[in-house]
Chains A and B, each alone.
Chain A
Amino acid sequence: MLWFIGRRTAIALPTLVAISFIIFAILDLAPGDPTSHLPLTIPAEVREQIRETMGVNDPFLVKWFLWVKQVMIHEPISLIEQLFNIQIGSGDRTRVISWQSRGPVVDTIAERLPQTTWVMGLAFVFGILIAVPVGVISAYKQYSVFDQIGTFVSMVGYSVPTFFTGLLAIVIFSVKLGWFPSYYDTTLEVTDWSSFVAQIKQIVLPVGVLSMFNAAALSRFTRSSMLDNLSEDYVRTARSKGLKEKRVLVRHVLRNSLIPVVTLIAMQVPGIFAGALITEQIFRINGIGHLLISSIHGGDIPMVQTLSFLIAALTVAFNLVADVVYGILDPRIRYD
């Protein structure tokens, strides 16, 4: 098992390096001059000296290496320092500084992260809780009315983009009916019953819209995985042994069918952050997605670089987790 995990990690690491290369290359090849915001009165030779000290003329590989060192080594150490209130080494490290806030990029990200994980994570969990039972029932009662409706609803569910369903939900539930607020207030603190109700109210719309979207694709996947297993020989064997139908379904079929589903769920975790890009824009949640969009509009390249690298690293990490989980759940995979 350890060998299996080690081998998968060994494959994932070069991917991470390649991704950091791509992200850095896109931003480095882009037109633009880091001294363009300086006053035009600076003489050309001084400007050239500034560029020289900034390292603009360094070879591409050197710049890439320095950036990787900054993002992958300096920033995590600084984060640990802040978390545990200790000092590691001299503490004299160059940090990635945002061009907009003039503060370390990672601090801003750490401020924004809880909102995103809370709302998006909740939607993710609810999506799974809806999708798995629906998928199981529609596979077990294939071609029944439930299955037909489920198929249609999930087809509509993953075809209709969240930026439309979100706006539609706002039109219906906050403009017309006035049940829920149309935006998410992050400054709200739950101290008593009424603020708790307000918190629940403001979370209903984003979580509802997003969990429906997450559930749509996942329930189709659960259904087809269940169908694959229902026609297997071992199911017939289990039934002919005289096992109760419920036991056959839950202990035999479901356990096997959930293997690919769990893998898919693990792979979709980083998608939480990509999905946040749009959902946070609709419901005005000031999380990671909102931060990325506003830094793109503001041309804040260090922030954009770090955020996209963070999302990419999460993608690679959770692909690895999915691989390993698959290996743990299904021993056949380990010996490929």
Chain B
Amino acid sequence: MTEPKLNGSSEGVAATASGAGPKHRSLRGDVWRQFRRHKGALVGLCVFVFVTVSSFIGPHLMPYDAVEIDVKMRNLGPSWSHPLGTDNLGRDMVARSMVGGQISLLVAITAMALSVFLGTSIGVMAGFFRRLDGVLMRFTDLFLALPVLPLLLVIIMLFRDSLRSAFGPEQGIFMLIVFIIGVTSWMQTARVVRGEVLSIKQQEFVAAAHSIGTRRRNVIFRHILPNCLSPVMVAAALGMAVAIITESALSFLGLGFPSDFPTWGRLLYDGKDFINLTPMRVVGPGLLISLTVISVNFIGDGLRDALDPKLRSR
């Protein structure tokens, strides 16, 4: 990365420099071009796609099943047939990590979507309707002051059983974890979006839209929201990293998913009692969590650079 060079007539200069002639450049193409310059982000994207694809497709290609118990093969170290070894019931750790990855990633994506949705709606409302601003921002401050992890643990302790009986052990816990991660992580998004909306609202095109009689709903959805896209996307990437870590932290404390329903954090938690015997049981899932979070954070970094028009105009 070099200093951002503000170049007024970048359109023509860059086009001739790439030798493409006066070709039309779309916003998406520009963003992608800038994104590719960020090596970390590109590597992160590759790693993330690899982890996601292998989690969802891998189990169909594996010779072992994630729940298949083979007691004769228990507590094995890494070998060619079991690259991450086996657990205390002889289940292959690669297969389990893949299945665990599905759940971890699903939780992360859904929780992120919920948190971005909440953050964006609250941010837009606070920024657009002046009357709601004070109330909503106090509300956001209140949520920021809440101790998130202890409260999550308390909520899980209290509502786990009733949700489990209402929606079944898997859906119940899934909904609960997604819900609480989403509900406790929207605050930063809301603040950033509010700031963005406040500045967009002052611009001429919004006044123009108002003056030709566009309804308020359309002003928000057609004019203001698309212009808030970049902070929302960055918040989404970072929110996903937070969601993965929170989910695995909950599982690590024994308050996440049940052990027959593995996630990366749960695998780590189950593996930590066998740390002397088969350290790969800890290292494998731990590396997967770390790699995924690092790659998502790098993607977020790259997105921030790529969506920043000051940097992109080079």
- Tell me if A218 is interfacial: C-beta within 8 Å of chain B: no
Query: A159–B142 contact, CB under 8 A?
Result: no
Chain B, residue nearest A317 (CB):
B145
Q: Is the CB of A171 within 8 A of B253?
A: no
Which of B2, B255, B268 is in CB contact (< 8 Å) with A164? B268
Judging by beta carbons under 8 Å apart, are A155 and B297 in contact? yes
Number of residue pairs spanning A and B whose beta carbons lie under 8 angstroms apart: 124
User: Given that A155-B298, A161-B248 are known contacts, is A270 also in contact with B155, CB under 8 Å in the complex?
Assistant: no
B201 adjacent to chain A (CB < 8 Å): no
Q: Are A15 and B253 in contact (CB under 8 A)?
A: no
The size of the chain A interface, using a CB distance under 8 A, is: 45
Q: Which of B19-27, B146-154, B192-200, B208-216 contacts A (4 or more CB under 8 A)?
A: B146-154
- Cβ of B228: which chain A residues have Cβ within 8 Å of it? none
**Residues in A whose Cβ lies below 8 Å from that of B142:** 15, 18-19
Q: Is A130 an interface residue (CB 8 A)?
A: no
Q: Is B257's CB within 8 Å of the partner chain A? A: no
Report the Cα distance A282→B297, complex, angstroms: 25
Q: Which of B158, B249, B252 contacts A27 (CB 8 A)?
A: B158
Main secondary structure of the interface of A (DSSP, over half): helix
Tell whether, in the assembled complex, residue A167 and residue B148 are in contact, meaning their CB atoms are under 8 Å apart. Answer: no
Q: Which residues does chain A contribute within 8 Å of B141, judged by CB atoms?
A: 15
How many B residues have CB within 8 A of the partner chain?
Answer: 45
Q: In chain B between 266 and 302, which residues have their CB closer than 8 angstroms to a CB of chain A?
A: 268, 272, 275-276, 279, 282-283, 286-287, 289-290, 293-294, 297-298, 301
Select the residue from A155, A161, A282, A299 with max chain B CB neighbours within 10 A. A161
Chain A residues closer than 8 Å to B154, beta-carbon distance:
23, 26-27, 296, 304, 308
Q: Which residues on A sit within 8 Å (CB–CB) of B290?
A: 156, 159-161, 164
Asked if B157 is at the interface of the complex by the 8 Å CB criterion, the answer is yes
Task: Report B-chain residues with C-beta under 8 Å of the C-beta of A155.
Answer: 40, 294, 297-298, 301
B:115-156 near A, CB below 8 Å: 141-142, 145-151, 153-155
Query: Assuming the A-B contacts A23-B151, A171-B283, A270-B147, are A278 and B253 also in contact, with contact meaning beta carbons closer than 8 angstroms in the complex?
Result: yes
A167 adjacent to B275 (CB under 8 Å) = yes
> B279, A159: Cβ atoms under 8 Å?
no
Beta-carbon contact of A163 and B148 below 8 Å = no
Closest to B161 in A: A31
Cβ of B220 to closest chain A Cβ, rounded Å: 29
Q: Which residue of A lies closest to B244 (CB)?
A: A161
30 A-B residue pairings within 8 Å (CB atoms): A23-B154, A26-B151, A26-B154, A26-B155, A31-B162, A155-B298, A156-B290, A159-B294, A160-B290, A161-B249, A161-B252, A163-B248, A163-B252, A164-B268, A164-B287, A164-B289, A167-B282, A167-B286, A170-B275, A171-B279, A175-B279, A277-B153, A278-B249, A278-B252, A281-B252, A292-B150, A296-B154, A304-B157, A308-B151, A312-B145
Which residue numbers of B lie inside 8 Å of A, CB to CB? 1-2, 40, 141-142, 145-151, 153-155, 157-159, 161-162, 241, 245, 248-249, 252-255, 265, 268, 272, 275-276, 279, 282-283, 286-287, 289-290, 293-294, 297-298, 301
Which residues of A are in contact with B by a Cβ distance under 8 Å?
Answer: 15, 18-19, 22-23, 26-27, 30-32, 143, 152, 155-156, 158-161, 163-164, 167-168, 170-171, 175, 270, 273-274, 277-278, 281-282, 292-293, 296-297, 299, 304, 307-308, 311-312, 315-316, 319
